[in-house]
């Protein structure tokens, strides 16, 4: 009998955990009789009653494993912790907020049984506000320049065979792009659509600031386009400087008065701002190099119950 591990990162989801567990067990027990399951909950430093609820679920259900992290490390490190402590022949991650339909797991398992090493459940539509949808569309458009196979709406839920999971886990970067790593390893990927359900309780812990930090971290980890863009801007600026020099010489040779200080100051201010932006981009890359050299663990476990 083969086993499917379901990894659930948890951060202040006390209101949904019992209902999520009920739905998962009901669905997973109805899968093929040749497939067993385990549920790996990862408590990512929750400050509500999530840990108490998870301990209660662990007592009630022997197929529940609990990984309790020492503090809040973020969603991606929490998923990685669940991956590292799962025993299944295939591993699925799913959010704890009940917005991802659990019956999608059955479809993903069916594709895995047909031979797919990676099954991605991508969002067909988003139920966020207009600003969030526009920001997400812009972010995914930039990501897709460097990772064309990424679905337009992105994804959070994926199934990986043990072979594919070991390949993703072998990647050593600290600044991880979860979706990018899954698609980068090169295994055949099966894409299936899913609908995003409305949130039943609580609020998203992903603020706009957190989303921006994650976007910068992930985009700079997979793309060289910012550096190439800087080179292009440098070339265009040099070309503009050459053209401006020709214009000034032409005016001087024809006895026209100089243009004065205003255009010169505008050029200086423009170039100064451009240089500071470029230094900031370079600094982001340098910081990531430094961060990689520190070799700090992505997460620290306070308690593990299996």
The pLDDT-based confidence of 158 (bands split at 50, 70, 90) is very high
Radius of gyration of the chain (CA): 25
Lowest-pLDDT range of 101-105, 133-137, 296-300: 133-137
Residue-averaged pLDDT of the chain: 82
Q: What is the pLDDT of residue 240?
A: 79
Query: How large a percentage of the chain has pLDDT more than 90?
Result: 31
pLDDT of 125 > 80? The answer is no
The encoded tokens of residue 155 equal 């994804």
pTM across the whole model: 0.77
Count of Cβ atoms closer than 10 Å to residue 275 Cβ: 12
Lowest-pLDDT range of 33-37, 116-120, 199-203: 199-203
Longest dimension (CA), the chain: 92
DSSP per-residue codes, 155-205: EEEEEEEHHHHHHHHT---SS--HHHHHHHT---EEEEEEPPPPP-SS--S
Average pLDDT, stretch 123-146?
A: 67
Q: What is the pLDDT of residue 177?
A: 80
Ranges of each domain in the chain: 2-205+297-305, 225-294
pLDDT of 248 > 80? The answer is no
Average pLDDT, stretch 99-103?
A: 86
Q: Higher pLDDT residue, 106 or 32?
A: 106
Q: What is the pLDDT of residue 17?
A: 93
Q: Does residue 147 contact residue 120 with C-beta atoms inside 8 Å?
A: no
Tens digit of each residue's pLDDT (9 = 90 or more) over 44-69: 999 988 999 999 999 999 999 999 99
Strands 2-10 and 90-93: what pairing?
A: parallel
Q: What is the pLDDT of residue 127?
A: 61
Count of Cβ atoms closer than 10 Å to residue 39 Cβ: 24
Tens digit of each residue's pLDDT (9 = 90 or more) over 194-233: 777 666 665 656 666 777 777 777 677 666 777 777 778 8
**CATH topology classification for 2-205+297-305:** Spore Coat Polysaccharide Biosynthesis Protein SpsA; Chain A (3.90.550)
Chain-centre distance for alpha carbon 168: 14
pLDDT of 100 > 90? The answer is no
Strands 118-123 and 189-194: what pairing?
A: parallel
The pLDDT-based confidence of 155 (bands split at 50, 70, 90) is confident
């Amino acid at each position: 009998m083969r086993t499917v591990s379901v990894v659930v990162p948890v951060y202040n989801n006390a209101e949904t955990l019992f209902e999520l567990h009920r739905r998962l067990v009901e669905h997973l027990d109805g899968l093929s009789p040749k497939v067993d399951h385990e549920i790996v909950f990862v408590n990512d430093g929750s400050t509500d009653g999530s840990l108490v609820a998870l301990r209660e679920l662990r007592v009630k259900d022997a197929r529940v494993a609990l990984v309790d992290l020492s503090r809040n490390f973020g969603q991606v490190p929490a998923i990685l912790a669940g991956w590292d402590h799962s025993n299944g022949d295939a591993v699925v991650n799913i959010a704890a907020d009940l917005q991802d339909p659990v019956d999608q797991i059955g479809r993903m398992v069916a594709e895995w049984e047909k031979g797919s090493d990676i099954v991605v459940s991508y969002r067909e539509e988003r139920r966020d506000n207009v600003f969030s949808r526009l920001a997400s569309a812009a972010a995914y458009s930039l990501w897709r320049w460097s990772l064309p196979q990424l679905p337009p709406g992105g994804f959070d839920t994926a199934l990986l065979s043990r072979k594919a999971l070991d390949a993703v886990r072998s990647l050593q970067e600290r600044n991880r792009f979860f979706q990018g790593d899954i698609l980068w390893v090169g295994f055949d990927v099966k894409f299936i659509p899913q609908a995003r359900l409305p949130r039943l309780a609580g609020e998203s812990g992903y603020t706009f600031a957190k989303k921006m930090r994650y976007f910068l971290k992930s985009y700079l980890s997979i793309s060289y386009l910012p550096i190439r863009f800087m080179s292009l801007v440098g070339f265009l600026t040099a070309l503009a400087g050459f053209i401006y020099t020709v214009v000034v010489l032409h005016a001087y040779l024809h006895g026209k008065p100089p243009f004065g200080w205003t255009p010169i100051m505008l050029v200086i201010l423009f170039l100064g701002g451009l240089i500071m932006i470029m230094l900031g981009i370079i600094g982001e890359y340098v910081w990531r190099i430094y961060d990689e050299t520190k070799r700090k663990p992505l997460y620290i476990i306070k308690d593990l119950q299996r």
